[in-house]
Structure 1
Amino acid sequence: MTSRAAHRGRRRSGDRWRSRLWLLAALPVLLVALADPLQRLFDLPPTLGTAVVGVTEAGVAAAAAVLAGLRARRESAASRPGRRARGWWLLAAATGSWAAGQVVWVVYETVLRVEVPSPSFADLGFLGFGLLAPLAVLALSRGAVRTTSRVRSLLDGVIVAGALFLLSWTLVLGPVVHHEAPSALALVTFAAYPVSDIITLTAAIAVLSRTRADTALVGIGAGVGLMAVSDSMFVYLSTAGEFSTGGLLDVLWTAAFSTLAASTLLVSRERRTGHEPGGPVRGAAHLWGRGSVHGSAAVRALPYVPFAIATAVVVLEATRHPMPGTTLAVLVVLMTLVFVRQALVVLDNVQLTHELQERSLALAQMAYSDPLTGVANRAAFTAALEDALEAGAPLVTAFCDLDSFKAVNDACGHSTGDALLVAVATRLREVVRSHDVVARLGGDEFAILVRDDDDAAGSDAAAAALRSRLATALSVPFSLDPQLASAAADPRGLQVLEAVSVSLGVVSTAELGGSPTAEELLHEADQRMYSTKRARQTVR
């Protein structure tokens, strides 16, 4: 089996595993969703429905705690456990704390059949999740989160936290503070829920919007974020006296812990099949088996969703009640921070565009210039010649080939040979204009392209004039060139340098007549150059 076929087989196996895993995770959610309707349909005791919901939630949370603990043990056994092991231990402690709180709640509601006091050990367990879950997310995200500038990351965090606070204060935290609680401790306990939810949701949004394709981390961020939203909804409904067991909130709580448990299993499976978290092109959408988190505009805009929602809620509330001055001040500050954040993005994009332009110019220079001599290369010369012929401009083409160049390399070394090529290129550039093309075609072969709008530029006289200038410039012994002074100091080097000559082949478009092609012009120049070389060799 080829490696590509093996990869497709592993991918199909992974897709089947993910599908089965999410179907399994959906079962407790379905059970909780159907508990209340079935209890009403079959006229079962209400405590039975409450027990089914409570035990299911506690069981799923406990399962997530056990799986996270097993993941932590495997990470701890690794050669470099680092922060990920601590993150898994924190997640195990967070979900275990919530499970313990839920067990206490179930005992009060179904065994003792009394209302859960506030505060109670159940609150201690629930709030333990709100304290430990953000720490777990931050520890697990170490090294798996895309980093931008620290200033932009800080602004994102402040915007998200500020928007969530404004939203919570308007809908949840404010009513809780003004709510008549049995005691100050009960008030503090009740207010601690939305505060911890703000912290948890801020951490979850930061991870979801910046994760580098860690499947487990995306799932954990989604699960933790769902828990935070559900808790705030619970406080809001409880304050309004509308909360009832077996409703939407219980479904959301179960879904949150099912997501956490499934994400832990999913990362274990991916480790065994060779897909490492933080690997290439995987992310939030990959958690569901398709796409990439980085390509999604919705994911990139995630930090601004709380701000948009908070603004809409505050404006809507302002139509019903006068807007407090502090609320307006917080909203203005958040708008200012969003503006500053976008201004930084614009500045970064301008800088990035400038860097890309510089790199493009550098790449173009590398692609169309000879790295040794700095003149154009064969590709650039061919392109310039074809453009000139297409424009119908009169032109002259010259080929230059060094005679006895190999003897220089053999006697003086390749560094002297390179210096000789640079010296030839320098002389060629000195006899033409800045907009004419001098190119090194390869080895010791050079070419020149002279183009002008004047019809005389492509005439026989223009070709003769260029041939004369080239012959004069290249007739000076290269042993006198400053770049070759060290080689010329040696008698053997002086001898081979003085023996170097240049064979020329010069042709104009007028000489060929009609409209010659690039191939015809180059062929004629090449033939004339080799005729000159053969004539010189015959004389010698």
Structure 2
Amino acid sequence: MHSPSGVELAGLASLMVAVPAVALLGNSGRRHTGAARNAHLLLAAGGATATAAALAGLISALFLAHDPMPHHRQTLGQAVAVAMAIGTFMLLVGTLMLPGAAESRRAALRHLLDGLILAAAMWFVGWILVTEPTRLLRGLTPMGCGSLLLGAGVAAVAIGLTAVLAMHAHRPRNVTVRVAAGVSLVAVTATALPAGICQGSPVLVCLGAALLPVGLFVVARAVESADRPVTVSGDIIQRNTGYAFVPMAAMVIAGTYHLLAGGEFGGFGFIGASVEGFALVGRQYLALGDVKSYTLQLRQREAHFRELAHTDPLTGLANRRGLVRALREPAVRHRPRTLVGLDLDGFKNVNDMRGHDVGDAVLAEVGERLRANLREGDVAARLGGDEFAVLMWATPEEAMTAGKRLLAVLCEPYETEDGSVFLSASVGVAGSPAPGDTGELMRDADLALRYAKQRGKNRVERYQKHYDELLRRHSVLENELRHAIERRQLRLVFQPVVALPSVRPVGAEALLRWHHPDLGAVRPDEFIPVAEESGLIGMLGSWVLDQACAQLARWLATGHDVWVSVNLSPKELHAADYAGQVAAVLEKYGVPPQRLVLEVTEHAVATDMDELIRRLVELRSTGVRIALDDFGAGYSSLGQLRNLPVDILKIDHALVAEPESRTGTAAPLVDVVVRLGHRLGLEVLAEGIGTSAQREIVEEAGCRLGQGSLFGWGVPAEHLEAQLRTVRTPGSRPAPQPRNRPAAAPSAPARSQIVMLGPGMRQVRAVLPTDPAFSGDQDVRSVDAPREMGQS
């Protein structure tokens, strides 16, 4: 053994520096988990293998420095080259395993083949440059040895892989590219160090020994941030593949030059061209597999999204589009199609009172119940909101039976986290008039459903042809009603209200009439619901209030002691600042507020009682009086009158028309209502009086005001004014301001009685006090009538 030179010692010292770099890689691997941990440990193992091979090779080379046998150095160089190539290959695999280098093993294989394509091209072009006749290095061209060729091949692969990762790694790419660049330096070391040993060149040995720790430190510093999040930047199929043509072009140009210069292709050139060809074929095979895989995924996703487009996400049923698709399918021979439309009654209250989460849970449960009651081939769909439909292969008669079964199922309680929810449903059934006529079928089912709701809900209705006429009539009325005011087709008539028993007119109820030039006289019970559904009721109500107050102002100006009542829709009552609108109209015409009576139907009591009371209190604060219309035909009880801020109680005509129990005796319910109304400080008005017998009944009950056909129908204002002039006397006194409601008498023991209001009417609970002041012998008519009602 000879004394080592300074160059050899410097190389040995440089290799010793690589040991801390390997330790850093190992420590980094221990700090990570999962795939990153495996990648870092493989990088550490590859660095350790390359470092150990380099140290062993350099120390062995010191012993063979003066060995006269060249083949000993070649054998040592080849052994070091193989060992360092193994370490470099482990580094390359660890690089491909880093997070962000490739999204899958298949992608990593693609990157490796792409790097091999570049490597084969570099190998081929390099072989052309260093062999005859080119000999680019001239006298510095190294002699051929296995260690040089193997190292050069590994270095080419590492450089090619670095270029591929720089183009295709996920963002951020700097970590992956830095690791690949460090591995490339190690690969250059795997070329220079064995070649130096084989060639006997201390400079190459020292260069390799210096580059090895540099490359390992680059890798170690880069992997410290290799666990940072990365983002996928597109699909591999969409990436640029121009790099595959550049190497081929370089090989073709280099090979052509080599042949034109008189060179020949040997084994090394054939190896380079063969590797390039096989790499390209393998890469193409993977690309075709990727195309097939992505095509299959695309079809699956397309089918999935197509199904989503036809499916309701909440219930899992078909949506409207899915139902239309089912309707367009060819009909089964001899099996007619029938569509059953379903709508939940009062579902909006569930969302408002319980919240949308509970509402969604109810809708999901509806979907489950429909799905559980489907027959084979039936299609259930949620059309939107709380509206559902079921397409059945059945006759309309069979569908009616199924609709009744579904109605019973949907009316069962819905159990939620906030308690039970009780709902009813409306069902409409329609048969298909013609195959494929989807629009007609859905429209017919919707019409039947609307008719079921109009007839009281919680029922099943089958489509009938005259529903089309009703729909067209509804549409025409809505369109024409929008222009009825500006075309002067509306007018007011006034039905007199008389004092009993004198039959003196003391007031009038303003009634709206519509006469269309083509449609003729349209009944209020036909166009008022249309106005409420279309949102025109506010416009009509404002016009009626303005016209009634204008006429009342004219009557008062001419000395007539009367008041006028105007019917108020529940939608108007709940409009924003309606009380302010009423006050503005009264101020506009200078009408005393107590001369205006606003009539609220008893059906409004079925709504939120607290909200109703608040709205009525706002109206009474303007000075107007409130009348509860149609009492006895709706939902309220006599006990609720204590809380309602009303001034007048209008007895429904159904109570007035009730057959008297015996001749000359007031009907029991009229008597009860009048007595308790007076007890609560309310004026009572009996409407619908059409016969003298009915008049006697209400008079005997003590009712002081009456209205009905017996006293006159609704007439134009000038006709009623003529009637007022005929009964006006010079001694008539103007009505004083309304007095306060008398305090309720001390409560007395009471007995409750449930009475029926007649055929088709609801029950009313009457509280019958046993106070002697309310005995049947008392003459209630002797009580003074309030002056604000217009009596003299």
TM-score (norm. length: structure 1): 0.49
Report which of the two has the higher share of strand: 2
TM-score (norm. length: structure 2): 0.36
| Greater C-alpha Rg | 2
